[in-house]
Amino acid sequence: EDQVTQSPEALRLQEGESSSLNCSYTVSGLRGLFWYRQDPGKGPEFLFTLYSAGEEKEKERLKATLTKKESFLHITAPKPEDSATYLCAVRPNSGGYQKVTFGTGTKLQVIP
């Protein structure tokens, strides 16, 4: 069974204090790993797709990396507006393109 585990559940950072969020996954072959940002009362907003180990993607203060067992979302010098819940999801090779397993998210709070 595919599993996605995100840690920590919650993270509180001072503005400018860099850190990383972790997404560990167990799938029978990875077709794609997705990162989303979710603000309170809103739907998940797509950030990145990673397809193979060693791949990296960047957007402003965020950088996503991928290994064969986990993905990291690195946040450099975060600002209060980066406060949100960050979701990780994996699409396995089996089960067609419809099967996507989501983690429960990391709730990030950035304090001014």
Residues that bind another protein in the complex, under the rule CB under 8 A: 4, 31-32, 34, 36, 41-46, 49, 51, 87, 89, 91, 97-105
Instruction: Provide the minimum distance between the beta carbon of 64 and another protein in the complex, in angstroms, as a whole number.
Output: 12
| Residues whose CB is less than 8 angstroms from the CB of residue 98 and which lie 6 or more positions away in sequence, other chains included | none
Q: How far, CA to CA in Å, does 88 sit from each of 5, 29, 48, 112? A: 9, 16, 10, 26
Q: Write down the least CB distance from residue 91 to another protein, Å.
A: 7
Nearer to another protein among residue 31 and residue 74 (C-beta): 31
Nearer to another protein, 44 or 78 (CB): 44
Nearer to another protein, 67 or 104 (CB): 104
Least separation in angstroms between residue 14's CB and another protein is 27
The token pair at 93 is 């090779």
DSSP string, 2-47: -EEEEE-SEEEEETT--EEEEEEEE-SSEEEEEEEEE-TTS--EEE
* Closest CB 79 distance from another protein, rounded Å: 23
